[in-house]
Amino acid sequence: MTTVLIADDQPLQRLGFRMLLESQDDMTVLGEANNGAEATRMTAELQPDVVLMDVRMPGLDGIEATRRIIASGARTRVLILTTFDLDEYAYSGLRAGASGFLVKDAQPEDLLSGIRAVATGDAVVAPSLTRRLLDAYVHHLPTAASAAAQTPDPRLDSLTDREREILTVIGKGWTNTEIATRLHLAESTVKTHVGRVLAKTGSRDRIQAVILAYDTKLVK
């Protein structure tokens, strides 16, 4: 169950969000705040999984409230919602520690899946903004070569690409049957791959392989 706090200064807007969220059987609205100060206080008290945060609010605005919530060390994730997808709002909001930035005219399903994503630690950005973020930052992305060089661990050298993939999903905790179904393989094939990965990496079982995957930063 995902618990949500709604922070918006417009009562009608809050009502809309509450109706949408309460219609989902995996979400609960813990409360509503009508300004940033109240949002900060209620978050500390109610410890929701996610705060739906409006940017424009009287007194303490959503950006500053986000900053304070994150600074408090709470495990609550902040998803910023605004009418305007202005870059200034987005950049400062994300820099403040928000896990996401969506525009209010998004489809309800997009909002819901966004809430679920940030609740599990992922992040979401409105497509219109993603475009601009990519344009601005794509040139700073590491190349495939440097990404490969990022794992110079000799323990992984002998693995083929496929085996490295297998090791990655082992590290994610997938079972053999899960790997088989999700990768469209027979379980026997998965076992063959896994066996080779274990042999090549000197791991006695998949648990050692999970640890190896973490040590080599293949996962997380």
Partner DNA sequence: GCCACGGTAGTACCGGGGTACTACCCCGCT
Partner DNA sequence: AGCGGGGTAGTACCCCGGTACTACCGTGGC
Binding site for DNA (CB under 7 A): 58-59, 160-163, 175-177, 185-189, 191-195, 198-199, 204-207
Residue 124's DSSP bridge partners are 100
Shortest Cβ 52–DNA spacing (Å): 20
Q: Does 80 bind its own copies (CB under 8 A)?
A: no
- Alpha carbon 172 to chain centroid, angstroms: 15
Q: Does 22 bind its own copies (CB under 8 A)?
A: no
Assigned token pair, 204: 């006695």
Shortest Cβ 192–DNA spacing (Å): 4
- Name 205's Cβ contacts closer than 8 Å, sequence gap at least 6: 198
**Residue 186: which of its own copies, DNA, none does it interact with, CB under 5 to 8 A by kind?**
DNA
Which residue type is seen at 6? Answer: I
Nearer to DNA by Cβ, of 105 and 161: the residue is 161
Residues in binding contact with its own copies, number by CB under 8 A? 80
Name the 3-class secondary structure at 157.
Answer: coil
Phi/psi for 187 (5° steps) reads -65, -30
Nearer to DNA by Cβ, of 51 and 194: the residue is 194
Indicate which single residue of 19, 23, 58, 131 sits in contact with its own copies (rule: CB under 8 A).
131
| CA distances, 169 to each of 121, 144, 174, 176 (Å) | 18, 20, 6, 10
Shortest Cβ 187–its own copies spacing (Å): 17
**Residue 157: which of DNA, its own copies, none does it interact with, CB under 5 to 8 A by kind?**
none
The secondary element (H helix, E strand) that includes residue 47 is none
